[in-house]
Amino acid sequence: MLDREEARARAATIQAILLDVDGTLTDGGIYFFEDGRQALRFHVRDGMGLVAARRAGLVVGIVSGRDVPAARRRAEDLKLDEIHLGISDKKAAVEEILARRGLAWEQVCFIGDDVMDLPPMTAAGLGVAVADAHPEVQAGADWVARRGGGHGAVREIIDLILAARARR
């Protein structure tokens, strides 16, 4: 795990923020309705952080193992640059994004909460786990947020990145 100064130094070089949805952008809860529809809970401050990151010129997107209409709708509402749902190999999906956008792994912050997120997290320049992430994911992260998934963790990390970029 990086100390705060090392994390800030890496954060200053970030050009793309990519993240998981379930348990990272949401609190991990899934609401099932009798008609089969599902609903997810998102935190408004995380959304505002993603909008702020886009306005600052960062590439922002989601890479999720599940393809849920609620996640797609939230990503579209926020006008995210990259929306990748139903992805079984998240590292390969991120590699495709980087190749298409001319970015290197060192320029990526990947935020996640579970073991499927480890491959892109450990390859990223800044791999972040939310506070309530699986212990193995926390152990593999460069940084662990103070807040849990769906409770402002994404905003916390975006604020760190934007502040570090402003200090450059």
Question: Model confidence over 93-122: pLDDT tens digits?
Answer: 999 999 999 999 999 999 999 999 999 999
Give me the domains of the chain, ranges plus CATH numbers: 4-167 (3.40.50.1000)
Would you say residue 22 has pLDDT above 80? yes
Q: How many Cα atoms within 13 Å fall on the side-chain side of residue 132? A: 16
Rounded mean pLDDT, 41-62: 98
| Residue 162 to residues 42, 53, 59, 127, 151, Cα–Cα distance (Å) | 21, 7, 13, 16, 19
Helix (H, G, I), strand (E, B) or coil at 127: strand
Helix (H, G, I), strand (E, B) or coil at 144: strand
Q: pTM for this structure? A: 0.96
Tell me the pLDDT band of 168, cut-offs 50, 70 and 90: confident
Q: What is the pLDDT of residue 30?
A: 93
Question: Model confidence over 71-99: pLDDT tens digits?
Answer: 999 999 999 999 999 999 999 999 999 99
